Each structure stands twice: as C-alpha cells, then as structure tokens.
Structure 1
Amino acid sequence: MTENNQFKPLAPLGYEIRSSDESAEEGYTSMLKSRQHDHRRRAIICFGCCSAGILISAVLITVLMLTVLRVKDPEINMNRITIPQILLNAAVPSTINIVAQFAVKNPNIATFKYANSTTLLYYHGVIVGEAHIPSGQAKAQRTHNMTMSIDVITARFLADSKFLNEIAGGTLTVSSYTSLSGRVKIIKIIKKHVDVKMNCTITANITSQGIVDQKCEKKVSL
C-alpha cells in the first residue's frame, strides 16, 4: 500500500444521503401540513364563535320574548257611573240612560286595537241594561278612557224589593260584564289576538256619583 491510497470513512448506519429535490419535497409537504393544521384551527375557532353568537342571540330573544316583547293582559275598569235623579222618583219612564266612564289600560309596548263590543249591566243577577262599545285603540302603555250610555230598563230595578232600601242608604250596587276582543302587534312580527272578559261589582254613591267600591275578575285568552 502506498501513501497516496487514502481510506474514506464509511457512512454511519441508518444515514441516508438525500438529494436536494427530496429535501425540497419534504419541506413543501411540511409546509402544506402546517397550513392544513392552521386552516382546521381557524375553522374550529370560527365555528365556535358562530355557535356562541347563535346561542347568545337565542338567549337574548328568549329573554325579550318573556319580558319586553311578552303580550301582557289589558285591563278594563269603570271609573264613574252617573245615575239620573229621575230613577229615584216614584214615576219614572220605562227606560233611562246611565252614563258610565270606562278605562282600557294597555300595559304592552304596542297599541291594543279592539273591535265593537258590549257591556251588560246587572242588578242582583238580573240584566237591567246594555251598552255598546265602539271599536277603538289603547296606545302603548297608556290608558284609554271612554264614556258610554247604558240603556236601563227601570222596571227591572223597581221590581226588586231591595232597590228602594238600597237607594235610601245612599248607594247602589250593580254588576257589569264586558267582553272585549282585539289584537296586539309588536314590531310587525309578534301578532296576538286578545279576548278580555271582565266581571265587575261596582258600588256607586248616589250623591257624588263616584265609585265607592269596585271588585273585578278578569279572564284573558291569547
């Protein structure tokens, strides 16, 4: 062996000499996998944000539907009743008019529109009068006052033996039944048909014509 002969070390086991093309391909594959991973991560984040937004919106809509946008029950009350003095005389006509002032309270955030209706007046369970309520509306969160004339059959009052004694005491107790049908429409989306039925017992002072006592039972159908 001469000095010019040089020994070259053997490549270690498991070591593989790769060309520049193979290295470039590996780099591209690694970059592609990284981009796919980032894309999946962004898609998961986007999906989570959308799901959270939908859930929050659903919760807010539900809360609004149960609170602000919930259709509340309108109320009907009689504020005043005017009894003509002729009813207290011995000789009275067959029919007279009792003037009553009613109030329709609308607690909703939208107008309550109601159709034509009637009010029946009772004395000890007997119908003694009837009034017609024209169609109208109670604005949002307002009270609509109206005055109506009730046609009363006087003979039905006088036929009751308790009438003169009650009048002598300075008060008159009557009952009324009112049925009112209407509709509440909120932001052109929520439309509710509302039927309000009110039974009231009213005690009026003969002298002042004011309401001494009033007890009402309400039934509302939506």
Structure 2
Amino acid sequence: MSGHDRKTEHPLAPANTYPRSDEESNTSQSDEQLKRKKRIRLAMYIAAFAVFQTVVIVIFSLTVMKVKTPKLRLSSTAEFLKLNTSTSTGGSTQASPPFFDIRFITQVRVKNTNFGPYKYDSTNATFLYQGVTVGEFIIPKGKARMLSTKKVDVTVNLNSNAIKSTTSLGSELETGLLKLDSQAKLSGKVELMFVMKKKKSAQMNCTVSIHLSNRAFQDLSCK
C-alpha cells in the first residue's frame, strides 16, 4: 500500500477543553459574592452578640452584683407600757432632780436592697439624752432576705439616773417633749449568687421626741 493510501493520523483533542461560557462565569462570580456576604453577615452577628454580652455583663455588674450597704432605722411607732416623769419635787433647799422612767415596745428595721440575703450579728443599741446613755436594748442576730425589710420588735427601758442635775431636763419635761438620740451598728455579710460574700455594716443614727401627754413618738429623723 502506498504512502498516499495511508490515512493521515491526527492527535486527539483533549477532552473538555471547551471554553467556559459567560453564563458559567457569572454563576461562579455570584456564588463567590454570596459566600462573601454570608461571611460578612456572620461576622456582624458575632460582633453584635459580643456587644450584647458585654452590655449584659456591665448591667449585671452594676445592678445585681453591686453590693449596697443595708439601712438600719428606728420605727416611728411605739407602744408605751410605762411613762413616769417629774420636773422637780420638794422645797427650794430639798428639791428632787427631774427624772423620767419610761418603758415601751417599738421596732427596728433592717432594709436590704441587695440581690442576696444580709446576715448580721447581734448588737447593742442605745438611747441617749444630750450624749448621756439613758437606755439600751439588744438587736438579736438575724437575716434580712434579698430586696426586703426585716422588722425586729424590741423592748426599751429608759431612765434618767445617769443624767446630771445641771442639765436642762426639767425645763424640757415641762414642755411635754423629751428629745432623744438612738444609735446602733450592725455587722454582717451580704451573700450574692451563693458564692460571693461581702462585709457590710448597717448603722442607725436617729433622733426622736417622745410626746409625753400623747404617749407617742414624734419628729423621727434618721440619717
């Protein structure tokens, strides 16, 4: 067979070498843009969540986890069991000093504004007349629950035995009003989330007048 009769051999064209159409190119670009948008949206969600968490933590720290000092106050009401007073007795040379002998039941209140209980130890409280102690009572140990006020009934005995005769007690008793100060300090701990305990002291510094004829408290003021 002659060389002219032989079939001319041509190399085979590689498979799938057709150029990509414009439609395929656009689809690929759209997919990339969609993925990019999803990544950006996910990053925005993560950033927004982080900001939200930070705000929640800050608010939680400033409210729930912030430990406030409890308040100790004297009640404005009292039930008088005994009320004896005298301005003076006898003649000018044998005059007895003015005196008072008083007994009543009242309340002290422990106000706890924390998100956890306030446990406190027992303590002594005093009533004073012009800086002189005229009566004492005990506030027993106890607990004020979170966001609540603990009310404690106490019985108080007052007398003027320790007051010097040079004071203005006689003239004050004549007016019918006996002005006294009441002081106390509670030591205890505020417990938060059952794990954190913070020492806090509640102090009472009140001024009150006893209306002798009405047998009642008057003009109560606490700091």
State the shift of 1:208 in Å. Answer: 3.0
The question of 1:127 aligning with 2:133 is answered yes
Aligned to 1:111: 117
Deviates more, 1:172-181 or 1:135-144: 135-144
Equivalent AA in structure 2 for residue 54 of structure 1: A
Distance 1:141 1:160, change over 3 A: farther
Matched, 1:137 2:135: no
Match in the other structure for 1:84 = 82
Determine if contact 1:97/1:151 at 8 Å carries over to the other structure. yes
Deviation at 1:190, TM superposition (A): 4.9
The answer on whether the counterparts of 1:87 and 1:154 sit within 8 Å (CA) in structure 2 is no
Percent of paired sites with the same residue: 25
Structure 2 residues not aligned, in runs of 5+: 1-12, 19-24, 90-95
Letter in 2 for 1:75: K
Which residue is 2:184 aligned to?
Answer: 178
Higher helix share: 1
Going from structure 1 to structure 2, the CA distance change for 1:96 and 1:204 (only over 3 Å counts) comes to: closer
Relative contact order (C-alpha < 8 Å, sep 6+): which is higher?
2
Aligned residues: 195
Q: Tell me which of 32, 38, 56 is aligned to 2:52.
A: 56
What does 1:133-212 correspond to in 2, within 5 Å?
133-152=139-158, 154-157=160-163, 159=165, 161-188=167-194, 190-212=196-218
What's 2:67 paired with?
71
Identify unmatched segments of 5+ residues in structure 1: 1-17, 24-29, 218-222
Aligned-residue CA RMSD in angstroms? 3.9
Give the drift of 1:166. Answer: 1.5
Question: 85-94 or 142-151, which moves further after superposition?
Answer: 85-94
Deviation, structure 1 residue 213: 0.7
Q: TM-score, normalised by structure 2?
A: 0.66
| Distance verdict in 2 for CA 1:54–1:154, change over 3 Å | same
State the TM-score, normalizing by the size of structure 1.
0.67
